[in-house]
Amino acid sequence: MELKSVPIESWRRAVSLILRRIRSRGQQDVALIEGLDIRRSEIISRWYASNFKPERLKKYAIEGVGNIDRAEMERVFLTPLLNLLIEYLRTDAKVFRDIYLDERLRYAPHKASPEVRKSFFQELLQEDVSILLDGMEAGSQNVKMMQAQLNEVHFPLLTEPSGNPLRLLAIGDCLMNEVRVFLPSHCRSVGIELDMRCLYFSAVLGKALSTEQIVNFLEKTPVDLIAVSFLSYEGLPLYRSLMLEAHALSQEEIARRISGLLFIMRSFLEDLRTYTDAPFLLHNVSGLPLKKWRKRLGFLAPFSSAQQSVLGALNSAIAEMATNTPNCVLIDEARVATGKGYRQCEMSAVPHHIAARALFHTSQFGAFLSVTYANILRSYQAMKKAKVLLIDFDNTLWDGVMADGPVTHHFDRQQLLRTLKDSGILLVAVSKNDPQNIRWSEMTLVPDDFVLQKISWKPKVSSIQEVASELDLGLDSFILIDDSPEERGLVSSQLPKVRTLDSHDLFTWQSLNLLLQFPNTKQTEEARSRTALYRAQAQRRETLNPQLDYPAMMASLGLCAKIGRGRAEDLDRISELVQRTNQFNTTTIRYSKANLESFIKSPAHRVYVAELSDKFGALGLVASVILEVQDKSAVFESFVMSCRAMGFGLEQLMLSHILNELNEVSRFVGRFIQTDRNNPAMFLFSEAGFKAEGPHEWILMNGDPKPKGPAWFSVTPRDAS
């Protein structure tokens, strides 16, 4: 049973639950746990020697342990740590385990790689567990049971994340630490491995808000999402003073200070956005912590009328800021605090006798907010690779079967899907139906909203395989939304890379709504035209009859390329290519928009781009190349091409254009760094006549034969009218 289900304000009931749990255990098991309590002083003394062993602290470069006072460390760290462990063994209450695991990281290499952290805890915990079990009857069943329990507790510290963990950077005051305590176990419960790091700023601690610190972190540690809490607790001095003085300020002065706060927040987000397109999880403001008397006296409102006015104005403006900031999800702190109760949120997550002298001061608010976070992270995990939504019709877009008569439409779902289509997500109809039964005139969606329609009685597995072939996209970018558990189960078993979601599950539509704030979607002309581009791509594949002569077949497409230097107005699209392209990407360096802008302006760099079109229409700007040119040498730092341009020979045409334009260069260096996904770019330089020099570089001298572009292209200078 989880302690959080017990009303915090009534510890007598919590104690009753604990006693019932103890009585349910075997008497010997209880005796072992009570034995730990009796040996408390001995364990803490020996734990100190183990946890603060000088050679281990030096080996793992543990921070924050200089000139430590032993008595103080035993009182504020080791005693609460042991208390948490004993309470968990007694009660199985998850809250004790979560805080215990987080406290274990306090004097550990928590910033190091998972491998280093695992090595550290293998050494430390082997000693600490031996101390706990010392003096017990070795080999007895109950001792084995306790050892198994201790192994279960410590499992997250002793294992490296499987696959690629979800990486979350949290920026804010100590509330972020409270979220970090509870969020990993929430994520594990839904199959998400989480790597959460925190960077702090605080008015109280004098730590200023700085993008430089964050950018330095991001250069070393890539992240998937960034959570920012400007006003939780006491992050920014201007907010802290505003709440303290609100009652004495004029409306004009309050408005002026709020405007100043919003300027700081907006500038920070805009600055950070130039370095990363990771989604922001932006907190609004709850007003916590409460002042002493408002916290203790239940008949007082949590805030004065002036403070309530400030909070309302701030939250209205922050909601608008979240809406107008690309890839930004609002974390509604105020709604959580109001729903759970402000005083409940401020209650300690554990009994006073454990937390009173402890370094941690974990409140219930962190536990409540971690549920909100977990839901968003679960949606991100489901949607992060989404490019194609495979949409069932009957009992998904409407209730009922259209072939049988009238249906009740879910117009909200249809409008959401249309918005996703306009943001660059491809919709494919995969309905088991007769096409003549679909009454399009009733729907918000129209046939042209779908890049392909697979409306037939064929198995959906077969239809999805056809879609993958015609669109030339990986199955791991497909999501099937269907009401039938049989259909979802069959697709999951036959095409395990396709993610399946239940159209009856509210989580599905919440996640699709959040997808609008994830990097997969863009509110750009490029994104809005993506369905038409891929529809034309499918038509091209029908035109490319394998029985035709290849040059004639390619010439039949009417390919036209425009190649030239990148310009400032190309930055958004170049950035999108650099950030999103994995297959034809020679070095997979994810340059920021600021970097790209500096390259365009720099005399030491050249940025080239290519646009492509054919008889079916324009594919847009599909390739970019970044070179560093110094001392008669040019280095291809990045060659990136969209997957929809692959197979036409555009890369050789572009390479030929660049080599011929840079006549003054005597030595060209092509760089290729292999990943698990960029094999399509592997032979770019070798097929163009470059000679291998080392594992990552290919060389072409000015006198060497230069490659020629395919003859089936017509080429126009990009700056031509």
Which of these, 500, 595, 517, lies nearest to 219 by C-alpha position? 595
What pLDDT is attached to residue 529?
A: 64
Query: From CA 561, how far away is CA 648, in angstroms rounded?
Result: 11
DSSP state of 451: E
Please state the separation of Cα 706 from the chain's center in Å. 43
Domain assignment present for 699: yes
Domain assignment present for 703: yes
Domain assignment present for 663: yes
pLDDT means over runs of 10, the chain (721 residues): 34 43 52 84 94 91 77 90 93 93 89 86 94 79 84 89 84 88 91 87 53 83 92 74 88 91 88 86 90 74 91 95 91 95 90 84 92 95 94 95 91 96 93 89 95 89 91 92 91 93 96 90 64 67 56 79 94 89 87 91 94 85 94 93 82 94 92 81 90 91 89 82 35
* Distance between first and last Cα of the chain: 72
Which of these, 473, 519, 609, lies nearest to 276 by C-alpha position? 519
Residue 373 · residue 331 · CB < 8 Å: yes
Query: From CA 389, how far away is CA 383, in angstroms rounded?
Result: 10
What pLDDT is attached to residue 523?
A: 62
**In a shared domain, residues 206 and 242:** yes
**CATH number, domain with residue 196:** 3.40.50.1110
**In a shared domain, residues 453 and 530:** yes
Which of these, 625, 606, 610, 608, lies nearest to 671 by C-alpha position? 625
CA dihedral 540, 543, 549, 554 (to 10 degrees): -30
Residue 243 · residue 285 · CB < 8 Å: no
**In a shared domain, residues 400 and 519:** yes
* Residue labelled with tokens 């079967």: 401
**In a shared domain, residues 182 and 262:** yes
499: left (phi over 0), alpha (psi -120 to 50) or beta: beta
- State which residues form the domain around 504: 385-535
**In a shared domain, residues 56 and 154:** yes
Residue 418 · residue 552 · CB < 8 Å: no
**In a shared domain, residues 513 and 601:** no
Residue 152 · residue 75 · CB < 8 Å: no
**End of a domain among 471, 500, 535?**
535
Domain assignment present for 496: yes
Residue 513 · residue 561 · CB < 8 Å: no
∠ CA(84), CA(90), CA(95), 5° rounding? 45
What pLDDT is attached to residue 209?
A: 60
Kindly state the tokens that stand for 324: 């107008």
**CATH number, domain with residue 638:** 3.40.630.30
The DSSP secondary structure of 88-144, one letter per residue, reads: HHHH--HHHHHHHHHHHTTTS-TTS-HHHHHHHHHHHHHHHHHHHHTTS-TT-HHHH
Query: From CA 336, how far away is CA 286, in angstroms rounded?
Result: 8
Which of these, 109, 70, 104, 69, lies nearest to 85 by C-alpha position? 104
Domain assignment present for 540: no
Query: From CA 130, how far away is CA 630, in angstroms rounded?
Result: 61
579: left (phi over 0), alpha (psi -120 to 50) or beta: alpha
* Residue labelled with tokens 């107008």: 324
**In a shared domain, residues 19 and 142:** yes
**CATH number, domain with residue 422:** 3.40.50.1000
Which of these, 286, 306, 167, 277, lies nearest to 230 by C-alpha position? 286
**In a shared domain, residues 554 and 468:** no
Query: From CA 283, how far away is CA 329, in angstroms rounded?
Result: 9
Query: From CA 579, how far away is CA 591, in angstroms rounded?
Result: 7
Q: Give the pairing of strands 166-172 and 225-228.
A: parallel
Kindly state the tokens that stand for 690: 């470059």
CB atoms within 10 A of CB 89: 21
Residue 377 · residue 192 · CB < 8 Å: yes
Cα dist from 288 to 233, 260, 294, 360, whole Å: 5, 20, 11, 17
Rg over CA atoms, the chain: 30
Q: Give the pairing of strands 560-565 and 408-409.
A: unpaired
Query: From CA 128, how far away is CA 109, in angstroms rounded?
Result: 17
**End of a domain among 511, 535, 559?**
535
Convert 264-289 to b/e letters by CB count within 10 Å (16 or more is b). ebeebbeebbbbbbbbbbbbbbbbbb
Kindly state the tokens that stand for 708: 């020629």
DSSP state of 527: H
Query: From CA 642, how far away is CA 526, in angstroms rounded?
Result: 13
Q: Is 522 exposed, middle or buried (0-12, 13-18, 19+ CB in 10 A)?
A: buried
Query: From CA 509, how far away is CA 419, in angstroms rounded?
Result: 13
CA dihedral 365, 366, 372, 373 (to 10 degrees): 160
**End of a domain among 354, 384, 414?**
384
Domain assignment present for 208: yes
Query: From CA 140, how far away is CA 121, in angstroms rounded?
Result: 26
Domain assignment present for 691: yes
Query: From CA 231, how far away is CA 213, in angstroms rounded?
Result: 19
Domain assignment present for 592: yes
What pLDDT is attached to residue 187?
A: 92
Query: From CA 697, how far away is CA 123, in angstroms rounded?
Result: 42
Number of domains in the chain: 4
What pLDDT is attached to residue 414?
A: 97
Query: From CA 584, how far away is CA 649, in angstroms rounded?
Result: 12
Cα dist from 261 to 241, 315, 560, whole Å: 11, 12, 51
**In a shared domain, residues 616 and 506:** no
**In a shared domain, residues 120 and 132:** yes
Query: From CA 499, how far away is CA 477, in angstroms rounded?
Result: 8
Give residue 260's identity as a one-letter amino acid code: G
- 3-state secondary structure at position 165: coil
**In a shared domain, residues 572 and 624:** yes
Query: From CA 322, how far away is CA 212, in angstroms rounded?
Result: 22
Which of these, 400, 409, 461, 402, lies nearest to 434 by C-alpha position? 402
**In a shared domain, residues 643 and 684:** yes
Query: From CA 162, how far away is CA 120, in angstroms rounded?
Result: 18
Query: From CA 96, how far away is CA 185, in angstroms rounded?
Result: 12
* Residue labelled with tokens 């006296």: 297
